[in-house]
Each structure stands twice: as C-alpha cells, then as structure tokens.
Amino acid sequence: MIELTRLNGNRLVVNCDLIKYAESAPDTVLTLVTGEKLIVLEPSAEVMRRTLEYRASVLGAAWPEASAALGAKAGSDVHKSSQHSVHG
C-alpha cells in the first residue's frame, strides 16, 4: 500500500497492486484494474518510486535474506545511474 494525495490535499492509501497504469496529463491519473480512476498530486515517477519501495519492503519482510541483496542492487543501480549521467 502506498500513501498518495488527492487534489484537494486529502491523503489516501492505495493498493499499488491494483494500479493498471498512470498517466500525467498534467495531473497524475491512476487507472486501477477495476476501471476506477484516481487523480493524485504526486507525479507518475513518484508513484512508481513508492510502488517499488513498497514492493521491496514486502519482499524484504517475506524473505529477510534477500534484504542485503536488494540493498546492494539498489546501490549498484544508483551508482550506474550517476555514472551514466556524468558520462552520458
């Protein structure tokens, strides 16, 4: 579950497993697998970041031995990304 903000400022918690896709037009519109649409303040990239963070936490809780590997992978990805930005 990820916490997001409606356009009126109210917070809501969304089951991110139900998000079918996110559009930025210019507000972020989430379409759920049920067909329901939610408009939130957070940009699509932030919704994706929170979703990935949540899923990593679920995996880490279910499989504690994976936590170290997940942390190492995330650090490696950040390092590669920063190198690409500098050299790209």
pTM listed for this prediction: 0.72
Contact 40, 54 (CB under 8 A): no
- As for how many domains the chain has, the answer is 1
* Domain, as residue range, for 39: 2-87
Q: Specify the amino acid at residue 19.
A: I
Counting DSSP H helices and E strands in the chain, the numbers are 2, 5
pLDDT tens digit string along 15-61? 999 999 999 988 999 999 999 999 999 999 999 999 999 998 888 88
Indicate the angle between helix axes 66-87 and 44-62, nearest 10 degrees: 150
